[in-house]
A and B are shown apart, each in its own frame.
Chain A
Amino acid sequence: MDITFSAEELAFRDQVRAFLSENWTDNLATRIRGDNQEFKAAQIEWQNKLNDQGWLAPGWPVEHGGADWSVTENFIFETERSLAGAPDVVPFGLKMVAPVIYGFGSEEQKKRFLPRILKNEDWWCQGYSEPGAGSDLAALKTKAELDGDDYIVNGAKVWTTYAQYSDWIFCLVRTDSSGKRQDGITFLLIDMKSPGITVNKISSIDDHHSLNEVVFDNVRVPVANRIGEQDKGWTYAKALLAHERTSIAAVADSKRRLRDLRKLLAQEVSGGRPLSEDTQFQNRLSNTEIELMALEYTELRVLASTADGKGPGVESSLLKIKGTEIQQAIQQMYMDLAGYYSGVIHGEENAETIGHAFGHDARKAYMYGRAATIYGGSNEVQKNITAKYVLGL
């Protein structure tokens, strides 16, 4: 039992802190919360700073631009980044398709795609879910038929985050319907500028546009854009899912949100007394904080097991379920703290006049936060997975 950081790890933490305090500026923080193109430009600016430092894709193999961090160093970086309030990288290129490309792609594909992802020249989105395939991903129907050197793709993908900004989409498509559902799926990289692709905006309950439907109408995709073998796409995609579940837990981010919430509690008053003295609020805070203290160690247990070469193990579904429950409990507390102001819609220009500006952000976080228990395999599906593979039921 040893959770102390070594001298080298502490020095690394100081280096991360110094980098963040210099590069994660208030200006950037404001712009990254902005809408549409402003958001994209600010996010790219931030990711370019990370790339200049060599920290944009730390998990990649070193020859492609990875940082060769230990599990602990990665944990330190993610913790410090979250505590500073800096956003995660947009994961679709860097954390989702890139590992598939360097893990299963051809040399040409690696040369063609990885440098452009690293330089933030290509934005990617994820084409997994379909109108008829949500948690039951293997039910997907978008069809790809071979025609000479091309596949012809027909169908629709849905809940595609940031499709409106994207240059490329990675898709799971059906190339065979004869056998087991998982066996006829192929992994394709598709240029979003291809004729026949339509992106339809989906407005979400947080008054924001991040989700889309992507429709494919006889879209031609060169066979050269196929990852690995035809019909083996499920294997490539599955390798990523455990990673996705682990990162969704966002333990350090919840720590920061709780810390900031406590500052707000001390500022907001009821009956002339700060709400931080309210015993109801204190109990709700500690209910969540105690779960989070435990989850932090659950995450460390997963990391220690990964560092031992045992893989993330049985706890990754648990991390996803508990992590997202905690996120939603925190969002709820922000909402309740804002009271009437949780319902106020305003922009930057009139926030000061109206007051209690955090109410606006609280509602957006709460509304979009409903997604966390749904995406990455809904929490109920995580329980099915745990029941089957961990408890042997």
Chain B
Amino acid sequence: MNFNLSEEQNMLKYSVTRFVQDQYDFESRRANAASELGFNPKNWQTFADLGWLSIPFDEAHGGFGGGATDVMAVMEEMGKGLVVEPFIATVLMFGGLLNKSGNAALQEANIEKIIDGSLQGGFAYLERQSRFELADVKTQAKRDGNEFVLNGEKTVVSNGAAANKVVVSARTSGEQCDEAGITLFLIDTDAPGVERTTYRLMDGQVVANIKLTDVRVAADHVLGDVDQGYPLIEAIVSDVIIALGAEALGIMQKLTTTTIEYTKTRQQFGVAISSFQALQHRMVDMFMAGEQAKSMLYRAVCAAESGAEDLAKNIAALKVMIGRNGKLIGDEAIQLHGGMGLTDELDVGHYVKRLMMINTTFGDADFQQKKFNKLSYSD
């Protein structure tokens, strides 16, 4: 029994740490986030050069063949640096869907380009009415010979401005909220009938609403089987929640450390405010919340790596915990920084906003708790 990273994983983790230290100070990050695409393409090329974009892909496709542990090692450090480059959207979601789709031709045509940094992707799974329900899909795909014709609107698509291609969930049969009858299509974002409206979220990322009007997609651009897209969505969401958990952990650790250091330097009533027991106990609460989140992340990673039967339950529990503990840590970090915590100039608020978006992604803590209850107590 051990919780150590392998030598290779440690090197991977360290390469991200060094990138953040050398090239990702807060001012650079602010500029990257404020740019048109919401990130810096030069950094993306660096990611490609360092091999990070190949992590989850099978070696057959030129990938690193990494698992949940490798993703965790990278994402924790990205969290500490508050990295905005769309690693999750392009590599883990878009690339992950391709990797698991079983569609060899699409893999051949696209994975290499993801790895070399020339292809940006996204996953269009949300709709205006769907809230956190992955199966609530109104967008229609109707078969027409060797093609499907797509009509509808997908919303809050991450990497919305930069994505050259997106995977879209659309309904090929069944009722609006049925899990069966959802199909995944690979579409070009500049295809006729695709209309993008881009906008920015509070964590800096640029997303898009994508309107689909009679968009024609070749039948061989289906990922997985027709009507059977839902299990693929669930599998990818499970992988990405681990990545979000690791990113959140990095942020929580950073906020806790920053807060401790600040209270040691901030003088009030003639002493450092870190000497006040009321504040010390709150920082211990932050520390404990982070350590518990770390333990839950390890638990979920171990379950994913071993293909445990109760993986879904562990994933839901992880999402609940990063949501709740992230909120506690974020709120305390602002509170203990006092008025400074309210300023846009300080990085604290920006870390907190990313934690808030992570909580929302794929269902917030309440939603995931309901899911956990259903998985655990419905028999």
**Does B264 count as interface, using CB distance less than 8 angstroms?**
yes
**CB neighbours of B275 from chain A (8 A):** 393
Q: Judge whether A321 and B299 touch: CB under 8 Å.
A: no
Q: Judge whether B283 and A276 touch: CB under 8 Å.
A: no
**Does B50 count as interface, using CB distance less than 8 angstroms?**
no
Interface size class of A (residues with CB under 8 A): 35 or more
**CB neighbours of A293 from chain B (8 A):** 296, 299, 314, 317
Q: Which residue on chain B has the smallest CB distance to residue A71?
A: B1
**Does B185 count as interface, using CB distance less than 8 angstroms?**
no
Cβ contact of B280, chosen from A287, A296, A383, cutoff 8 A: A383
**CB neighbours of A300 from chain B (8 A):** 1, 3, 295
Interface residues of B, dominant DSSP:
helix
Q: Judge whether A298 and B69 touch: CB under 8 Å.
A: no
Q: A262 → chain B, closest Cβ, in Å?
A: 7
Q: Judge whether A4 and B3 touch: CB under 8 Å.
A: no
Stretch at the interface among B134-142, B284-292, B326-334: B284-292
Q: A246 → chain B, closest Cβ, in Å?
A: 14
Cβ contact of A286, chosen from B5, B260, B288, B369, cutoff 8 A: B369
Q: Judge whether A286 and B281 touch: CB under 8 Å.
A: no
**Does B205 count as interface, using CB distance less than 8 angstroms?**
no
Asked if A298 meets B369 with Cβ closer than 8 Å, knowing A384-B280, A387-B280, A387-B281, the reply is no
**Does B52 count as interface, using CB distance less than 8 angstroms?**
no
Q: Judge whether A294 and B299 touch: CB under 8 Å.
A: yes
Q: Judge whether B1 and A307 touch: CB under 8 Å.
A: yes
Q: Which residue on chain B has the smallest CB distance to residue A2?
A: B2
**CB neighbours of B264 from chain A (8 A):** 393
**Does A40 count as interface, using CB distance less than 8 angstroms?**
no
**Does B376 count as interface, using CB distance less than 8 angstroms?**
yes
Q: Judge whether B301 and A1 touch: CB under 8 Å.
A: yes
**Does B4 count as interface, using CB distance less than 8 angstroms?**
yes
Q: B181 → chain A, closest Cβ, in Å?
A: 29
**Does A33 count as interface, using CB distance less than 8 angstroms?**
no
**Does B372 count as interface, using CB distance less than 8 angstroms?**
yes
**Does B263 count as interface, using CB distance less than 8 angstroms?**
yes
A87 to B332, CA, bound (A): 40
**Does B320 count as interface, using CB distance less than 8 angstroms?**
yes
A234 to B321, CA, bound (A): 39
**Does A308 count as interface, using CB distance less than 8 angstroms?**
yes
Q: Find residues 309-331 in chain B having any chain A CB closer than 8 Å to their own CB.
A: 314, 317, 320-321
Q: B283 → chain A, closest Cβ, in Å?
A: 6
Cβ contact of B283, chosen from A279, A303, A393, cutoff 8 A: A393
**CB neighbours of B293 from chain A (8 A):** 294
- Chain B 1-41 near chain A by CB (<8 Å), digits 1 or 0: 11111000000000000000000000000000000000000
**Does B213 count as interface, using CB distance less than 8 angstroms?**
no
Cβ contact of B372, chosen from A290, A294, A297, cutoff 8 A: A290
A2 to B4, CA, bound (A): 8
A274 to B260, CA, bound (A): 47
Q: Pick from B3, B5, B263, B306 the residue with the most CB of A within 10 Å.
A: B3
Q: B190 → chain A, closest Cβ, in Å?
A: 42
Q: Judge whether A283 and B306 touch: CB under 8 Å.
A: no
Q: A346 → chain B, closest Cβ, in Å?
A: 30
Q: Judge whether B3 and A304 touch: CB under 8 Å.
A: yes
Q: Judge whether B3 and A301 touch: CB under 8 Å.
A: yes
Q: Which residue on chain A has the smallest CB distance to residue B261?
A: A392
Q: Which residue on chain B has the smallest CB distance to residue A297?
A: B295
Q: Judge whether A297 and B298 touch: CB under 8 Å.
A: yes
- Chain B 267-305 near chain A by CB (<8 Å), digits 1 or 0: 000000011010011011001100111011011011001
Asked if A3 meets B292 with Cβ closer than 8 Å, knowing A304-B2, A393-B260, A393-B283, the reply is no
**CB neighbours of A291 from chain B (8 A):** 292
Cβ contact of B4, chosen from A1, A262, A286, A392, cutoff 8 A: A1
- Chain A 258-272 near chain B by CB (<8 Å), digits 1 or 0: 000010000000000
Q: Judge whether A282 and B377 touch: CB under 8 Å.
A: yes
Q: A325 → chain B, closest Cβ, in Å?
A: 10
Cβ contact of A290, chosen from B260, B274, B317, cutoff 8 A: B317
**CB neighbours of B301 from chain A (8 A):** 1
**Does B197 count as interface, using CB distance less than 8 angstroms?**
no
**Does B335 count as interface, using CB distance less than 8 angstroms?**
no
**Does A62 count as interface, using CB distance less than 8 angstroms?**
no
Cβ contact of B296, chosen from A294, A315, A390, cutoff 8 A: A294
**Does B343 count as interface, using CB distance less than 8 angstroms?**
no
- Chain A 350-386 near chain B by CB (<8 Å), digits 1 or 0: 0000000000000000000000000000001001101
- Chain A 1-37 near chain B by CB (<8 Å), digits 1 or 0: 1111100000000000000000000000000000000
**Does B373 count as interface, using CB distance less than 8 angstroms?**
yes
**CB neighbours of A390 from chain B (8 A):** 287
Q: Judge whether A295 and B295 touch: CB under 8 Å.
A: yes
A321 to B369, CA, bound (A): 23
Q: Judge whether B3 and A1 touch: CB under 8 Å.
A: yes
Q: A158 → chain B, closest Cβ, in Å?
A: 26
Asked if A1 meets B317 with Cβ closer than 8 Å, knowing A298-B295, A392-B260, the reply is no
Q: Judge whether A391 and B284 touch: CB under 8 Å.
A: yes
Q: A299 → chain B, closest Cβ, in Å?
A: 9
Q: B379 → chain A, closest Cβ, in Å?
A: 9
Q: Judge whether B292 and A294 touch: CB under 8 Å.
A: yes
Asked if A1 meets B320 with Cβ closer than 8 Å, knowing A298-B292, A387-B281, the reply is no
Cβ contact of B288, chosen from A1, A262, A308, A318, cutoff 8 A: A318
A298 to B305, CA, bound (A): 19
A296 to B295, CA, bound (A): 8
Q: B343 → chain A, closest Cβ, in Å?
A: 24
Q: Which residue on chain A has the smallest CB distance to residue B301?
A: A1
**CB neighbours of B320 from chain A (8 A):** 286, 290
**CB neighbours of A276 from chain B (8 A):** 377
Asked if A380 meets B298 with Cβ closer than 8 Å, knowing A4-B306, A282-B373, A318-B291, the reply is no
**CB neighbours of A384 from chain B (8 A):** 277, 280
Q: Judge whether A393 and B296 touch: CB under 8 Å.
A: no
Q: A90 → chain B, closest Cβ, in Å?
A: 29
Cβ contact of A298, chosen from B291, B317, B376, cutoff 8 A: B291
Q: Judge whether A1 and B298 touch: CB under 8 Å.
A: yes
Q: Find residues 135-172 in chain A having any chain B CB closer than 8 Å to their own CB.
A: none
Q: Pick from B274, B288, B320 the residue with the most CB of A within 10 Å.
A: B288
Q: Judge whether B298 and A301 touch: CB under 8 Å.
A: yes
A335 to B292, CA, bound (A): 27
A279 to B377, CA, bound (A): 10
A287 to B296, CA, bound (A): 13
Q: Judge whether B281 and A1 touch: CB under 8 Å.
A: no
Additional pairs, 7, CB under 8 Å, beyond known A262-B377, A290-B372, A393-B274 = A1-B305, A276-B377, A279-B373, A286-B376, A297-B299, A384-B280, A387-B280
Task: Give me 10 A-to-B residue pairs in the complex whose CB atoms sit less than 8 angstroms apart, sorted by A's number.
Answer: A2-B2, A3-B302, A3-B306, A5-B1, A286-B369, A294-B321, A295-B295, A301-B298, A308-B2, A391-B260
